[in-house]
Chains A and B, each alone.
Chain A
C-alpha cells in the first residue's frame, strides 16, 4: 500500500503526487498571492485616503507609478486584481488547495487522494494560470481593469477595455477553474470511495464535511463561470457580441444581463465555497479546545448541506437594481433570508460547544473564536443586502465592501489562520511560537475590525465603491477623515502579517520539534508520526469513534480518545 520507493528531487518536491507535498505547494502559492493581493489593498487604501499625494517610498510608489501618482486606470486595475487574486489565488489555494489536500486523506484514513496524478496536474494547472495572470503585468496596457466581476460590455474591447490584460484575466480564470474542477472531483471521489473502515459520513470530522461540500459546489458551479468566461473570451478575441447590446452593438441579440446571471449563479455559491471549509474547521477546533464534543455535530453537518442547496438559488440578490423582474426580486429575497436560519443554528452549536467546556486559549482557538465575531457581523449585515429595499440604497456602496470582507476575507482568512496554527505541527513537524501567534492574532483582529466596520459606516454614509477619488463628491465630505484612519489601520493590518510570516518561516527552521499529537486531538491525522511518510498510514486504520469524543467519562485518565482506538468498556 505505501509507496516508499526511491524518489528523485523532481518527483519528490516538484512533480509530486503526494497529497501532503501538493498541499504545501498550494499553501506557498496562496501565501505568495496573499502577500501580493494584500499589498495591492494597501495601495488602494493609500489612494482613497490621500488621492492627491504621491505614494510613499515604503509602499514602493515610484517603483510602480511615475512619480508615485497612479492614474484612474491604474486604480481600476488595482482593485480588479486585488479582488481576483484574493479570491481565486490566495484564499482558494490556501483553504481548499492546501487544507483540502492535506486534511481529506489524513482525516478519513486514506493513503492518498483517489487520483494522485490528477491532483498533481491540478496544482500545475493552477501554476500555469498564475503565470498567465502575472504575465498581464508585463504587457503595455497592464492588467485587467473591469472589476473582479468584469461586467460586459465594459470588459469587452468595444466597451472601453481593449488591452490584452483583460483577455489574460479571463484566460487565467478559466485555467484556474479547470484546476479547481480537477481538485473538486478528486476530493469528492476520495471522500465517497476512500474512507477507512468504520468511517461513516457522520463520523467524518466537520472539517472534511466543509471541504467535501465545498468541492460539490465547485464541481457544479465552476463549469458555469467557465462557460461565461469563454463567451467573454470570444467577445474579446474574435469579435462576437454575446454580451454587447445598446449603442455599441453592431448585431442584435447580445445581452449584458446574461453575463451577470452566469457570473452570480457561480458567484454566490463561491462565497459559500470559500466559507464552508472555514465553518467546518472552526466547528472542529472549538471542540478540540473546549475538550468537549462538537455540539449537535450532525445538525451542523445538515445545516451545511442546507446552505449548499440554498446558496445555489439565491444569486439574484446581487442583481436587485439591474431591472430584473420584480417577482424574481421577491423570490430571491425570501430564499436569501432563509439562509439566516441555518446560520443562526451554527452560532447556537458553536456556543453550545463552548458551553460547560474546558476552554484552552491557544492561538488556533483565538482565531476560531474570532470567527464567531467576524462571521457574526458579516452574516448579520448580509440581512441589509438581502432586503430589496435596503439594497436599493446599499448596493454598490462601501457597505457591501465591508460586508463581504467580513465574510469572505475575515471569516475565511481567520478560519484559515486557525487551521495553519493548528496543523502546522503536523505539516512541518515543528511548533510555532505561541506568543508571536497571539500578538499576530490581537493586532490582526483589532485592525481588521476597525477597517471593515468603518467601511460599512462609510457605505451607510453613501460612499459608493470603486472611486478613484472620493473627494469628487460633496456629499462624501463627512467621511474623509474616516478614509484616513481606515488607511492607517489597514497599514497596521497589512504589516502585522509580517509577524506571522516571520513566525511561520522561523518555526519551520528553528522551531521546537512537535510531538505526534500536540493538541491531544482525536482525528486520525494525529495518530501518525510526523513527518508523515508517503502513503500515510502504516496499516489502514479502523474507525471506532466519532471525531469529538472529548472528556468521555468512559475514558480514564485523559480527556480524549483517538477515532481509531476502541472505546474501553465502562
Chain B
C-alpha cells in the first residue's frame, strides 16, 4: 500500500520534472564548455535544478541570519526569550523541515538522475549504426582502436590511429570500452559532459553521441603521475564520409615497413606498450 502510494507520487513528480526546463540562475558565472552531445543537456538540467534549490535554501538561511543579527542584537533593555525549542510545535516544525527537504531535494534530484541514467547514460545503444571504440590510456597518452572491416576487435585489421587522436562521426552513437595499461586514468570530454575512469584489471564502458562537428579536447581527470597535466587527447567529430576516409587512411598497411617508424617522435617519458593491446569486445547485457 505504502509502496504503491510512493510509486504514484514518484510518477507524478517525474512527469512534472520532465516538462520543466530549468533556466540557469547564473551563480556559476563562467559558462561550462559548450555541450555538443545528445544527452549532455540532462546533466546541465540536473545541475540547474540543483542551482535553483541551493540558491533558495541558502538565501533563506542567510536572510534569516542577517535579519536575526539586526533584530536580536544585544542592546540595553533587550533580553533573550527562554526557549529550549523542545515543545510539540517545534518538533513538528523540525519534522516538517525534514519532509520538505526530503521531497523537494532528495526525491526530485533522485528521480531526475534515475530517469537520466535509465534513459541515457546506462541505456547503451544497440544495432549496426553504433560505432565501437576501444580506449587504452597509458602514462601519458591515449590509445584508440577501431574494429576495422571485419567488425571484430583484437584482429589484424584493427585500425589504430596515432596516439591521442580520436575521430568519430557526427549523429552516431559511440560506445567506448576503456581499460588502462598501467595506472588509473579517467577519460573526460568536457564538451560532452562525460567521464569514465579506466581502472587496471577492469573493462569499463560508456557511450555518447555528438550532435555537432568540430574539434574537442579529451582530458585525463585522474592523477596518473607527473605527466598527468599534459595527458591530452583530441577528439574530432566529422561527417560520416570524412570519418570513413580517415579510417581508410589509418588502416594497417599490408607490406608494413619497419623503417617507417624510424625517427618517429615518441615521448620518452611514456611507457612502452605491447604492440597488440586490443581485447575482444565485451558484450554488455
Contact = CB atoms under 8 A, between A and B. Distances in A.
Interface of A: 71-73, 76, 145-147, 151-154, 159-161, 244-249, 254-257, 290-299, 321-323, 326, 329-330, 333-334, 337-338, 340-341, 344-345, 347-349, 351-361, 369, 372-373, 376-377, 380-381, 383-384, 386-390, 392-393, 395-397, 456-458, 460-462, 464-470, 472-475, 478-479, 482, 548, 550-553, 559
Given A151-B184, A354-B65, A388-B113, A340 B101 contact: yes
Interface in B50-76: 50, 53-54, 57-58, 61-62, 64-65, 68-69, 72-74
B29 interface: yes
The B interface, classified by DSSP as helix, strand, loop or mixed, is: mixed
B116 A389 contact: yes
B197 A295 contact: no
Given A292-B83, A472-B229, A255 B201 contact: yes
Given A246-B182, A396-B195, A390 B80 contact: no
Given A354-B68, A390-B46, A475-B217, 16 more contacts: A147-B223, A151-B223, A159-B182, A246-B180, A254-B201, A296-B86, A296-B94, A321-B186, A340-B102, A349-B85, A353-B85, A361-B69, A380-B57, A387-B50, A461-B32, A472-B230
A151 B225 CA distance: 11
Contact of A333 (B113, B190, B227): B113
Interface string B7-32: 00000000000000000000011111
A171 to B, nearest CB: 21
A354 B62 CA distance: 13
A460 B193 CA distance: 11
Nearest to A478: B30
B109 A293 contact: no
A76 B81 contact: no
A358 B195 contact: no
A344 B188 contact: no
B32 A344 contact: no
A326 B122 contact: yes
B94 A345 contact: yes
A466 B228 contact: yes
Nearest to B231: A472
A469 B227 CA distance: 10
B84 interface: yes
28 contacts: A147-B223, A153-B183, A245-B202, A246-B201, A291-B80, A292-B83, A293-B84, A299-B91, A323-B196, A323-B202, A340-B101, A341-B98, A341-B101, A344-B98, A351-B64, A357-B68, A376-B61, A392-B121, A393-B47, A396-B222, A466-B223, A466-B229, A469-B230, A470-B229, A548-B84, A551-B79, A551-B81, A559-B80
A245 B109 CA distance: 36
A334 B28 contact: no
A376 B82 CA distance: 27
Interface string B193-215: 11111011110110000000000
Interface string B102-137: 100110011011101100011000000000000000
Contact of B110 (A145, A321, A337): A337
Contacts of A548: 84
A351 B82 contact: no
Interface in B255-278: 273-274
Contacts of A348: 93-94, 97
A334 B110 contact: yes
Nearest to A396: B221
Secondary structure at chain A's binding surface: helix, strand, loop or mixed? helix
B179 interface: yes
A293 B117 CA distance: 46
Contacts of A377: 58
A396 B193 contact: no
B68 A380 contact: no
Contacts of A160: 139, 182-183, 224-226
A246 B68 contact: no
B122 to A, nearest CB: 5
Contacts of B219: 464, 473
Contact of B72 (A147, A356, A456, A462): A356
B72 A293 contact: no
A295 B221 contact: no
Nearest to A158: B182
B251 interface: no
B106 A256 contact: no
B245 interface: no
B151 interface: no
Interface of B: 28-33, 42-43, 46-47, 50, 53-54, 57-58, 61-62, 64-65, 68-69, 72-74, 78-86, 90-91, 93-94, 97-98, 101-102, 105-106, 109-110, 112-114, 116-117, 121-122, 138-139, 179-184, 186, 188, 190-191, 193-197, 199-202, 204-205, 216-217, 219-230, 232, 273-274
Given A383-B109, A468-B228, A345 B98 contact: yes
Given A351-B64, A359-B73, A464-B219, A330 B80 contact: no
A458 B97 contact: no
Contact of B109 (A152, A294, A387, A478): A387
Contacts of A478: 30-31
A290 B83 CA distance: 11
Contacts of A152: 183
B195 A395 contact: yes
B85 A344 contact: no
Nearest to B178: A323
Given A71-B226, A323-B204, A473-B219, A344 B29 contact: no
Contacts of A550: 80, 82
Nearest to A460: B28
Contacts of B220: 464
Nearest to B116: A389
Given A145-B226, A293-B82, A360-B74, A462 B94 contact: no
Contact of B200 (A244, A376, A392, A475): A244
Contacts of B102: 338, 340-341
B232 A249 contact: no
Contacts of B79: 358, 551, 559
Contact of B113 (A354, A381, A390): A390
A254 to B, nearest CB: 7
B203 to A, nearest CB: 8
A358 B226 contact: no
Contact of A351 (B68, B90, B109, B193): B68
Contacts of A397: 221
B184 A381 contact: no
A304 B180 CA distance: 41
Nearest to B40: A393
A389 B195 contact: no
A340 B117 contact: no
A340 B106 contact: yes
Contacts of B195: 321, 392-393, 395-396
Nearest 9 A-B pairs (CB), nearest first?
Answer: A245-B201, A246-B200, A295-B85, A323-B204, A460-B28, A462-B190, A72-B226, A358-B80, A468-B229
B197 A323 contact: yes
A347 B85 contact: no
Given A151-B223, A392-B121, A553 B82 contact: yes
Contact of A256 (B69, B74, B78, B184): B184
A373 B200 contact: no
Interface centre among B73, B80, B273 (most CB of A within 10 A): B80
Nearest to A72: B226
